[in-house]
Amino acid sequence: MFESEISPTILLILTNHGHGHYPKDQKKMEPIATWEKLLLGVLALLVILWFSPGINKMMGVSRDAKSDWIGLAIPIAMVSLFVFLLILII
């Protein structure tokens, strides 16, 4: 009645999985160049410096705020319970 077909994508994954071979039309990713690493580092530093005044202000406001640990504990407990139930299902 129905003929089982394997999609080309799944077939490609199955044939190349764990062997390190790539089809001729597919290239491996090249390692990132040194100038790109430096550019990413400078960009990260600029982002940190850009956000630092806001972070300092937020830290000052959070020191004066009332502690609300129950607001942190309830979501963590719910996620832990959900993961525990998922483990029980298996």
DSSP string, 44-85: HHHHHHHHHHHHHHHHHHHHHSPP-THHHHHHHHHHHHHHHH
Range in 3-7, 29-33, 56-60 with the lowest mean pLDDT: 3-7
87 vs 2, higher pLDDT: 87
pLDDT at res. 31: 86
Going from N- to C-terminal start, the domains of the chain cover 34-61
pLDDT in tens, 77-86: 999 999 999 9
Cα(79)–Cα(61) distance, integer angstroms: 28
20 vs 15, higher pLDDT: 15
pLDDT at res. 21: 58
12 and 23 Cβ atoms separated by less than 8 Å: yes
**pLDDT at 35 > cutoff 60:** yes
